[in-house]
Amino acid sequence: MSDRITIDHGSGGRASLELLQSVFLAGFDNPILNNTEDSALLTINRERLAFTTDSYVVEPIFFPGGNIGDLAVNGTINDLAMRGAVPLYLSTGMILEEGLPIADLRRIVASMRRAADLAGVRIVAGDTKVVPAGKADRIFINTSGIGVVAEGVDIGGSKGLPGDKVILSGTMADHGITILCQREGLTIRGDFASDTAPLHHMVAAMLAAQPGKTHVLRDPTRGGVATTLKELATASKVGIVIRETSLPVRAAVRGACELLGIDPLYLANEGKLLAFVAPEAADQAVALLRRLPHGEDATIIGELTADHPGEVLLETVVGSRRRLDMLHGQPLPRIC
Amino acid sequence: MSDRITIDHGSGGRASLELLQSVFLAGFDNPILNNTEDSALLTINRERLAFTTDSYVVEPIFFPGGNIGDLAVNGTINDLAMRGAVPLYLSTGMILEEGLPIADLRRIVASMRRAADLAGVRIVAGDTKVVPAGKADRIFINTSGIGVVAEGVDIGGSKGLPGDKVILSGTMADHGITILCQREGLTIRGDFASDTAPLHHMVAAMLAAQPGKTHVLRDPTRGGVATTLKELATASKVGIVIRETSLPVRAAVRGACELLGIDPLYLANEGKLLAFVAPEAADQAVALLRRLPHGEDATIIGELTADHPGEVLLETVVGSRRRLDMLHGQPLPRIC
């Protein structure tokens, strides 16, 4: 490992994982802090709570489909939902660069409020710091969140079982390609927009309709679907096979990815979930998701196997199998 | 108000309050988010929880007495303690600048771990982002925290009563003067060190020894003792009188403040609390604090009055009275 922080350490791929393991997990070392979960599961007296934190440094701060504010609110809601929690309360810690137009700040705050209202959560604690011009990039937002986990709900990255179906709730790479094209000033033909959206309603519906049938939930953000699946294969000690022909990608997004030489499997999503669901429940789960907002393109993309634990294989269009690894060697900075 | 963010918006004084009120409270608008409390009080089913967030951007990141890491952990522990909560769990969201030496990061993480262990809290959730060189200043840390509030505990900025004594748990301005001297490269004669320390043990002892007698707790960080008292006078709708001769300030700190033309009443503290305590309980509370770590210089500095609600008066050495306002017009950037 390099002796200095590199952009790659923030891309959500292999370098991020190495930093996490060698510095943070080694340093903080406790059983609740878990590298493969989106939020910590706490038991405080009689309550089971999920607790999570995320900092947002996305550039640009305004982009088609959203801005850093609703991205931050939805992202933390989703990290709570991926433990099966009902999100309740958020905090927001802002780091502002001197010179930021207050009109921009108001617009961001209004988006945060709207996103929170839509999801039925409240922003109850906040903090604001200011740094001199040149010491930050306009605005960075931390959102932390608390949710409640109902009795009997037991969702976690290590709970996948061979035979489980892998469900993806919609198209891949919309957020990542939108940010990259904005940043590069690319005017690729295509109507891109970030998919930033809350996912807790999908989780609530799945858990209510088929209790115990959903084993793993994860939103494939930094590092994309491929990196997330690789993490989950490792955590659940299962193999995963996904079929390239089943992967939902908008045609324009696919075209842009080809042009940029980037695999949509490695681009960030901000309003999609992966679910590992018991095989007998998978079709009903997909049908349910398709009736919900942001779930119309939900589909089964593969399944878990007892073979090749820890490995993710992609069955390509031509029938060959390709091993998918975590994102590495291709830093995608400040995607969220 | 300026149409752009200025350094003054981050100083914890009047400009910060204006930004808070006009942008954040107006935008997020809900009854739990309260501008005068250090943490939000939540009731989740049967549990009463305190929830707080703070981002740390202190410069320099290493300073006599501590670094950005233990500062962040202690600061969030203290924000929980100031609602009478027992701090339990922290999250940490890091924003790292490309090029940060990983040895520095390890040192900071080790300090965070040590501070958490000392206080009996656990760091259970984390997130790391990286931005390119020149887009941040080495490291910014957000710490959010959860604590439990026991039944019957009712501490808040609006609970002060006329007659209450104002207790300060130790000397003023140690953190602020240390940071300012470090940053300016000043070699003022004097053995300065930040007072960064956890305060929850003081709170637990006070609440256990004299239940119901402590009405208000607050740690006077950004903006210092004067700004904090002004906020509390407003929130409790009481007047406050403090005596200049009672204010504990180390001689070397006082000298440095005179040299820099800064009033120690406006400099940040990171290991001190202000308590408004029922008059009959105040002497015992001071005696108790003096027996605890970091409390040896605890003293009564004044009292609350029914007169001049919302105003803080300083009885000077020569017997005159001077009105203390919030910090304004003297930006002290990145003090925490």
Q: Which chain B residues are Cβ-neighbours of A49 within 8 angstroms?
A: 44, 146
Q: Decide: B140 and B61 in contact? Cβ < 8 Å.
A: no
A/B interface, count of CB pairs below 8 Å: 284
Other Cβ atoms closer than 10 A to B330: 12
CATH 3.30.1330.10 occupies which residues in chain A?
A: 37-149
Q: In this complex, do A24 and B132 lie within 8 Å of one another by their Cβ atoms?
A: no
Give the pLDDT score at B189.
62
What does the pLDDT read at residue A196?
Answer: 98
Which residue ranges does chain B devote to CATH 3.90.650.10?
Answer: 165-324
Nearest CA-CA distance, residue A336 and chain B, Å: 9
- Residue A103: list chain B partners with CB under 8 A: 3
Between 3.40.1180.10, 3.20.20.70, 3.90.1530.10, 3.90.650.10, what CATH number should domain B165-324 receive? 3.90.650.10
What are the helix (H) ranges across chain A? 14-19, 26-28, 68-81, 102-119, 174-184, 200-209, 224-236, 251-260, 279-290
- Pick A140's closest partner by Cβ from B1, B95, B144: B95
**Is the dihedral angle over the CA atoms A260, A266, A268, A271 positive or is it negative?**
positive
Residue B36: pLDDT above 70? no
pLDDT at B271 exceeding the cut of 90: yes
Read off the pLDDT band of A190 (50, 70, 90): low
Q: What is the pLDDT of residue A168?
A: 98
A29: helix, strand or coil: coil
B151 touches chain A (CB under 8 A): no
Instruction: Please state, rounded to an integer, the average pLDDT across all residues of chain B.
Output: 94
Is the minimum CB–CB distance between A30 and chain B shorter than 8 Å? yes
Q: Decide the pairing of beta strands B274-277 and B299-305.
A: unpaired
In this prediction, residues A211-221 reach a mean pLDDT of 97
Confidence (pLDDT) at B53: 97
- Which residues lie closer than 8 Å to B331 by C-beta, 6 or more apart? B6, B7, B8, B10, B11
| CB crowding B43-72: b at 16 or more within 10 Å, else e | ebeeebbbbbbbbbbbbebebebbbbbbbb
Q: Least CA distance to A49: which residue of chain B?
A: B44
**How far is Cα A1 from Cα A26, in angstroms, rounded to an integer?**
15
Helix (H) and strand (E) counts in chain B: 9, 14
Tens of pLDDT, residue by residue over A265-323, are 999 999 999 999 999 999 999 999 999 999 999 999 999 999 999 999 999 999 999 99
**Is the CB of B294 inside 8 Å of chain A's CB atoms?**
no
Question: Which residue of chain A comes nearest to B334, CA vs CA?
Answer: A131
**B2 vs A: CB within 8 A:** yes
Indicate whether this model's pTM tops 0.80: yes
The pLDDT assigned to A189 comes to 62
Residues 296-325, chain A, touching B (beta carbon < 8 A):
none
The pLDDT tens digits for B43-94 are 998 899 999 999 999 999 999 999 999 999 999 999 999 999 999 999 999 9
* Chain A residue whose CA is closest to B88: A44
b/e per residue A267-292 (b: at least 16 CB within 10 A): bbbbbbbbbbbbeebbeebbebbeeb
Question: How large is the ipTM?
Answer: 0.96
Q: DSSP code of A334?
A: T
Contacts of A61 in chain B (CB under 8 A): none
Please give the C-alpha separations between residue A190 and each of A182, A193, A335, B118, in angstroms, as whole numbers: 12, 10, 19, 55
Q: Which amino acid is at B106?
A: R
CATH topology of domain A37-149: 60s Ribosomal Protein L30; Chain: A; (3.30.1330)
Q: Which two tokens stand for residue A29?
A: 């070392």
Task: Count other C-beta atoms under 10 Å from residue A25's C-beta.
Answer: 17
Q: For residue A246, what pLDDT is reported?
A: 97
Average pLDDT over residues B269-289: 98
Report, as an integer, the average pLDDT of A29-44.
Answer: 82
* Distances in whole angstroms, Cα of residue B281 to Cα of each of A295, B44, B151, B286: 60, 32, 21, 9
Taking only the tens place, the pLDDT of each residue in A242-253 is 999 999 999 999
pLDDT tens-digit series, residues A135-155: 999 999 999 999 999 999 999
* Residue B31 CB contacts under 8 Å (≥ 6 apart), including other chains: none
Q: Tell me: the pLDDT tens digits for B113-128?
A: 999 999 999 999 999 9
Cα distance between residue A10 and residue B166, in whole Å = 47
Helix (H, G, I), strand (E, B) or coil at A58: coil
Q: How many CA atoms lie within 13 A of A107 on its CB side?
A: 12
* Cβ pair B202, B292 in contact under 8 A: yes
- pLDDT score, position B29: 84
Q: Which pairs with CB-CB distance under 8 Å and at least 24 residues apart come from A58-62?
A: A58/A179, A58/A334, A58/A335, A58/A336, A59/A137, A59/A179, A59/A183, A59/A333, A59/A334, A60/A179, A60/A182, A60/A183, A61/A104, A61/A108, A61/A138, A61/A139, A62/A104, A62/A107
Q: Cis peptide before A60, with omega less than 30 degrees from 0?
A: yes
Say yes or no to pLDDT of B35 above 80.
no
Encode pLDDT of B209-265 as tens digits. 999 999 999 999 999 999 999 999 999 999 999 999 999 999 999 999 998 899 999
The pLDDT tens digits for A94-134 are 999 999 999 999 999 999 999 999 999 999 999 999 999 99
**Taking residues A160-172, what's their average pLDDT?**
98
A264 cis-preceded (ω within 30 degrees of 0): no
